[in-house]
Amino acid sequence: MDSLSQQLWQRTQRVVWHPCTQMKQQQATPPLAVVRGEGVWLYDGDGKRYLDAISSWWVNLFGHAHPVINAALHDQLEQIAHVMLAGCTHEPVVRLSEQLTRLSGLAHVFYASDGASATEIALKMSFHYWRNVGKPDKTRFVSLRNGYHGETLGALAVTDVAIFKTVYAPLLQSSWQVMSPDWRLAEAGESAEAYARRAAQELGVYLAQHQQTVAAVILEPLVQCAAGMAMYHPTYLREVRALCNQYSVHLIADEIAVGFGRTGTLFACEQAGVTPDLMCLSKGITAGYLPLSAVLATEEIYAAFYADDMAHAFLHSHSYTGNPLACRAAIASLGLFESEHVLTENRRRGDVLDRLAEPLRQHPRVRHFRRLGMIWAFDVMNVAQDFAQQFYRAALQEGLLLRPIGNTVYFMPPYIVEEADLAYLVAGTVKALERT
């Protein structure tokens, strides 16, 4: 390890507590000491570069240090960096809200700082809506098995990933999980669409029995990311939307990870032709520049809080709600989608990676090679218990930042990745796979 990286590691070990990390393991696997980023590349203190193949935890849409977003933030810094949104407003938050409502078909936007906060807001909005309209018994939430919605207590209550949830179970409100539409779980000979319909039928049975107490169904549209990039047929979304309408239950779409083009459309719900009652956004919303999240709501939900008395108001708040700098980064990112024809170009990039990735698809240890939009994943057979850590280290040696989920390796690169970068990614992944 070079001297600068060594110094950063030593200082880190003394004072920093890293997320989603067993800190003792960092003695054997020190964190990557990043000193700068440019395009799809991260650079350590020795000048070695690493392809950011997971977009720095799925947030970086257009690479590091993008000149358009940089310029927008410089301009905003000369105006106002932050002002409270309670009792104040500003151009960036209004403009971003106008764009998000136009693009989503929803009516009003409430802001926070991160994905889990957005989930908390959506759950509280749904519960409070039913209370405001005279149905206080609707307090229960339904989510998918293996689903993930964040790690604050409300979000964790509707999450179904044991490693995050089990220890905190005594603190959590109960929720109900129904079968996942993940097509890997289908029976032999059963199509992804048929399995999706079967999963929806189970949800329908539950809602028919508990419609008086269920406030909302919350799900990740098309891809359950923390479940190992579990992908499913859009028919499931259509069926769930119909069931929620039938039984007067809100549909909360957690597009935190899958929004902003990851699945091939700006929002994943578009592929099923459905509009949720509440939509949670974060991660790619600022293209990886600044923390920001949003909950988009229908006019009907907003109207239930619009009253003379404060008891009907939605009093949730964050100090940095609607931060002007973060909103400006999001506006610049949305501008790039239009000026750079991103969704169209991503289809071209995706086809290129599909072609280049054939050695992975045919690898004897690879199962369920899959792609949706700009997300690729495959499951690795015959792995050691610490496969994820082994593969992470092997990938770093090949100049790749990859972070498997269990035995699932996935690619979620920035949207500026080019063919040479993709070839580098595949070649390095094959080498890392052969060493783990």
pLDDT at 207: 98
* Average pLDDT of the chain, as a whole number: 97
Q: Show the DSSP H helices in 133-227 as ranges.
A: 153-157, 162-165, 192-210
Distance CA 47, CA 134 (A): 62
User: Collapsing DSSP states into helix, strand and coil, what is residue 231?
Assistant: strand
The confidence score (pLDDT) of residue 27 equals 82
Phi, psi of 111 (to 5 degrees): -110, 150
Q: Contact, 243 vs 254, CB < 8 A?
A: no
Q: Does residue 151 register a pLDDT over 80?
A: yes
Q: How many CA atoms lie within 13 A of 235 on its CB side?
A: 15
73 pLDDT more than 60: yes
Instruction: Give 2's pLDDT tier (boundaries 50, 70, 90).
Output: low
User: For residue 1, is pLDDT > 70?
Assistant: no
Q: pLDDT tens digits, residue range 201-224?
A: 999 999 999 999 999 999 999 999
User: Is the pLDDT at 89 greater than 90, yes or no?
Assistant: yes
Task: Please give the pLDDT value at position 176.
Answer: 98
The Cα–Cα gap between 410 and 402 comes to: 8
Average pLDDT over residues 381-386: 95
Higher per-residue confidence, 26 vs 435: 435
Give me the pLDDT at residue 3, please: 76
Q: Do 180 and 146 touch, CB atoms closer than 8 A? A: yes
CB 168, CB 233: distance < 8 Å: no
Q: In the chain, pLDDT over 70 holds for what percent of residues?
A: 100
The pLDDT of 158-185, averaged and rounded, is: 97
pLDDT of 414 > 90? The answer is yes
pLDDT of the residue at 26:
85
184 touches 199 (CB < 8 A): no
What is the number of residues in the chain?
Answer: 436
262-276 b/e with 16+ CB inside 10 Å = b? bbbbbbbbbbbebbb
What is the separation, in whole angstroms, between the first and last Cα of the chain? Answer: 22
- What is the model's pLDDT at position 28? 82
149 pLDDT more than 50? yes
Distance CA 329, CA 197 (A): 39
Q: Which of 26-35, 71-80, 366-375 has the lowest mean pLDDT?
A: 26-35
Confidence of residue 4 (pLDDT cuts 50, 70, 90): confident
Q: Give the CA-trace dihedral at 150, 156, 158, 161, to 10 degrees.
A: 80
Q: Are strands 140-144 and 176-178 parallel, antiparallel or unpaired?
A: parallel
**HSE-up of residue 53 (Cα within 13 Å, Cβ side):** 28
CA distance 402 to 412: 9
289: which 2 tokens? Answer: 């520049």
* Mean pLDDT value across residues 174-184: 98
Residues 19-59: tens digit of each pLDDT: 999 999 888 888 999 999 999 999 998 899 999 999 999 99
- Residue 109 pLDDT > 90: yes
Residue 5 pLDDT greater than 90, yes or no: no
Domains and CATH numbers, the chain: 3-65+341-434 (3.90.1150.10), 70-339 (3.40.640.10)
pLDDT in tens, 128-139: 999 999 999 999
- Say how far apart CA 374 and CA 56 lie, in whole Å: 15
How many other C-beta atoms lie within 10 A of the C-beta of residue 190? 14
Phi, psi dihedrals of residue 283, rounded to the nearest 5°: 40, -95
Give the DSSP letter string of 137-148: T--EEEEETT--
Least confident residue range of 25-39, 89-103, 320-334, 418-432: 25-39
Instruction: Please report the pLDDT score of residue 336 as a whole number.
Output: 98
